[in-house]
Amino acid sequence: MAVTAKNRAGGGGDSAASGTGSRRFIREVLDELRKVVWPTWGELYRYTLVVIVTVAILGVFIGGVDYGISEILRRWLYVTH
């Protein structure tokens, strides 16, 4: 249940007086979704590119570190003279 000033003050009635619990929940969710400031298509495109580029850079970095460590360990542990 959402905490409102009425509920905090102890005046929140039961769910039977204000509709069923699930209906009230859906109504409150929809009310909150109306307050959301959704990104424009330009912002969405730009943020998506930022995420894709960041993931690619981190993937290459982690892959490079993994490859480097495996090569170092292969040369130290599996030395064949």
One domain, residues 44 and 63? yes
Letter for the amino acid at 62? I
One domain, residues 49 and 31? no
Instruction: Give pLDDT tens digits for 26-75.
Output: 999 999 999 999 999 999 999 999 999 999 999 999 999 999 999 999 98
Q: Is the pTM of this model over 0.85?
A: no
CA distance 5 to 12: 9
> Domain span at residue 21?
5-35
Q: Reduce the DSSP state of residue 37 to 3 states and report it.
A: coil
Which one-letter DSSP state was computed for residue 78?
A: S
pLDDT greater than 90 at residue 14:
no
Reported as a pLDDT band with limits 50, 70 and 90, residue 19 is low
- Give the per-residue pLDDT at 81: 63
CA distance 50 to 69: 28
One domain, residues 63 and 43? yes
